[in-house]
Structure 1
Amino acid sequence: MAATFRRAMDALYLLCVIVGCTALVLISAIIPWAVFTRYVLNSAASWPEPLAVLLTIVLTFIGAAAAYRLNLHMNVGYFADQLPQPFRKLLELLVQILMALIALFMIVWGESLVEVTWHNTIADFPFLSVGVTYLPIPIGGLCLLLFIVERIWLGIPPDPIPAHHEVAPFE
């Protein structure tokens, strides 16, 4: 059961990374286009900025869940590292419980936000529901919650990228 859950979380992590990286690449392509149309063509396109904002929402909430899984997010562990081992484990559990509350908040209130705004449209994208644009909030919260359950149950997953001293040198 634990191995199956770990593999499922590996697949979910990979999906989150692909979605987050795709959003980042698209943002990186859209912003220069906006600058080009505004300053070179003297005719600013209206869609790049709102699309970049929507992609930033995807990158933020889905990418943050992926970063949290491997502990790649910003954190300050100095004071926690000074504690004796039993207290460190207790503090780590407390942090995971607090993060689970944040994830639940994202799921519940994010879903509510999606529901309330589902029938609204975006001026620059009239075919797109505002609710759809907020879907990364509850989806990111659910991914985060699953990664927290994994961390509490199975521990921090192994890093898929080996440390630099484990990598074979270029020949």
Structure 2
Amino acid sequence: MAGLFRRTMDYLYLACVVVGTTALVLISAVIPYAVFTRYVLNSAASWPEPLAILLTIVLTFIGAAAAYRLNLHMNVAYFANKLPPAGRRLLDLLVQLLMAVIALFMIIWGERLVEVTWHNTIADFPFLSVGITYLPIPIGGFCLLLFIIERIFLGLPPDPITHGSEAPSFD
């Protein structure tokens, strides 16, 4: 059962990375287009900036869940590293439980935000519901919660990036 859950989290992590990376690539394409139309064509397009903001929401909430899974987020562990091993394990459990509270907050209040704004539209994209644009908040919270559950019961997943002597040499 643990192996199946770990593999499922691997696939969820991969999906989060693909979604976040796609959003980042699209942001990187849309912003130069906006600059080009504004300063070269002297006729600014209205849609690139709101689209970049929407993609940033996707990148932030979905990408953050993926980063959290592999412990790639910014953290300060100086004082935690000074604790004995039992104290570190207890502190890590406390951190995971506090992060679970944040994930539940994202799920519950994000879902309410989606529900309240579902019938509103965005001026630049009248076909797009505002609620859809907020969907990355509860989805990211749900992914984050699953990654926290994985970390509590199975520990950190193996690092997919090779380190040390296993790393390829480019000499």
1:94 alignment partner AA: L
TM-score by length of 2: 0.99
SS for the counterpart of 1:74 is: coil
1:54-105 deviations in whole A, cap 9, x for unaligned? 0000000000000000000000000000011111100000000000000000
Deviation at 1:170, TM superposition (A): 3.1
Q: Does 1:91 align with 2:116?
A: no
| Counterpart in the other structure of 2:137 | 137
Mapping 1:50-65, distance limit 5 Å: 50-65=50-65
The runs of at least 4 consecutive aligned structure 1 residues that moved more than 6 Å come to none
Deviates more, 1:156-165 or 1:137-146: 156-165
| Counterpart in the other structure of 2:116 | 116
TM-score by length of 1: 0.99
2:14 alignment partner AA: L
2:7 alignment partner AA: R
| Counterpart in the other structure of 1:155 | 155
SS for the counterpart of 2:109 is: helix
1:8 alignment partner AA: T
What is the identity percentage for the equivalent residue pairs of Structure 1 and Structure 2? 80
| Counterpart in the other structure of 2:19 | 19
| Counterpart in the other structure of 1:30 | 30
Deviation at 1:168, TM superposition (A): 2.5
1:25 alignment partner AA: V
Structure 1 unpaired stretches of 5+ = none
| Counterpart in the other structure of 1:42 | 42
1:140 alignment partner AA: G
Deviation at 1:165, TM superposition (A): 3.2
- Measured in 1, the distance between the counterparts of 2:62 and 2:75 equals 18
Deviation at 1:164, TM superposition (A): 4.7
1:107-158 deviations in whole A, cap 9, x for unaligned? 0000000000000000000000000000000000000000000000100001
- Measured in 2, the distance between the counterparts of 1:150 and 1:167 equals 27
- Measured in 1, the distance between the counterparts of 2:75 and 2:35 equals 35
- Measured in 2, the distance between the counterparts of 1:102 and 1:13 equals 19
SS for the counterpart of 2:11 is: helix
1:160 alignment partner AA: P
- Measured in 1, the distance between the counterparts of 2:168 and 2:60 equals 33
SS for the counterpart of 2:126 is: strand
| Counterpart in the other structure of 1:128 | 128
SS for the counterpart of 2:51 is: helix
1:150 alignment partner AA: E
- Measured in 2, the distance between the counterparts of 1:114 and 1:168 equals 46
Q: Does 1:72 align with 2:98?
A: no
